[in-house]
Amino acid sequence: MRSSSKETSLPLAILVLVLLLVGCSRSAPDKMPAGPENSNFTWPDLAKTDVNLFVETNQHDVMGYLKQLMIKLYRRNPNQLQRGTVHQAEANVGRVFGTFHNWEFAELNNVKGVDCIRMAFQESFTGDRVLAYTVGLGSMIMASYENKREFYVLDTLDPQKLYNSARNLELALWLLTHDRDSHGNLFLLSNESEGTVRNLSYERLFGKMIGLQDALSRVVAQKTKRLIKQALQFLIFLPI
């Protein structure tokens, strides 16, 4: 009889120990400081696939390069600040990339997309050409992302729009480096050459943006099983 009581008490002791361990494991995370890998986690992230996260990273990088481009253009074309309503480069860059505005600016008559890019190279335009050029590029690029900044499982992108945006970036670069006014002067200064040394940093920024948009268009096309129509450009912007 004694041996029987010992056998029944042993499983009970094990059960109590297991319950204590489970209780400790549940309470431990509440006391554990959040590590770096947890600090940026949000519950909506659970509704994002690897492709969604790739799209967001791609967009973030492209817009980062565009911001660098705007800063560089103001350094080469400080006279453009006097043509606009905001006369400080930092303030202009901040309001373009740091606030929500739906890419509509009163001094540009709320024009955006490729129409705004064209406006930057019209001789009759008397406003800030750097602002018009950047807003045109930014709104055109964002249109290729359906004007979204976060992407979830049910969100889809059109690979053709991403591809077209890359071709439009190529044309925008050509206009920047070739378009001139009636006096033969470039509307905006960018790349420069001094003797045998050439500064092609603007072209490199465009190359990065074009490469990212092209790469994403191929990823999305593969994911959605859609074909991309290759286009031959003759100084014409493609639709987004």
Q: Tell me: the pLDDT tens digits for 194-205? A: 655 567 899 999
CB environment 175-191: b (16+ within 10 A), e (fewer) = bbbeeeeeeeeebbbbb
Torsion, CA 49, CA 50, CA 53, CA 55, rounded to 10: -100
Position 189 confidence tier, pLDDT thresholds 50, 70, 90: very high
pLDDT, tens digit, 9 for 90 and up, residues 78-128: 999 999 999 999 999 999 999 889 999 999 999 999 999 999 999 999 999
Is residue 45 scored above 70 in pLDDT?
Answer: no
Phi, psi of 121 (to 5 degrees): -115, 20
Between 91 and 41, residue with greater pLDDT: 91
Between 68 and 32, residue with greater pLDDT: 68
Cα–Cα dist 118/30, whole Å: 56
Q: E-strand spans in the chain?
A: 192-194, 197-199
Between 99 and 239, residue with greater pLDDT: 239
Q: Is 215 exposed, middle or buried (0-12, 13-18, 19+ CB in 10 A)?
A: middle
pTM of the full structure? 0.81
Q: Which of 219, 215, 208, 212 is nearest to 52 (CA)?
A: 219
Range in 13-22, 63-72, 132-141, 149-158 the model is least confident about: 13-22
pLDDT, tens digit, 9 for 90 and up, residues 126-177: 999 999 999 999 999 999 999 999 999 999 999 999 999 999 999 999 999 9
Q: Which of 96, 107, 181, 182 is nearest to 139 (CA)?
A: 96
What's the rounded mean pLDDT across residues 193-221?
88
Position 232 confidence tier, pLDDT thresholds 50, 70, 90: confident
Angle between helices 129-144 and 89-97 (to 10 degrees): 20
Cα–Cα dist 100/85, whole Å: 18
Q: Rounded to 5 degrees, what angle do the CA atoms 221, 45, 145 make?
A: 35
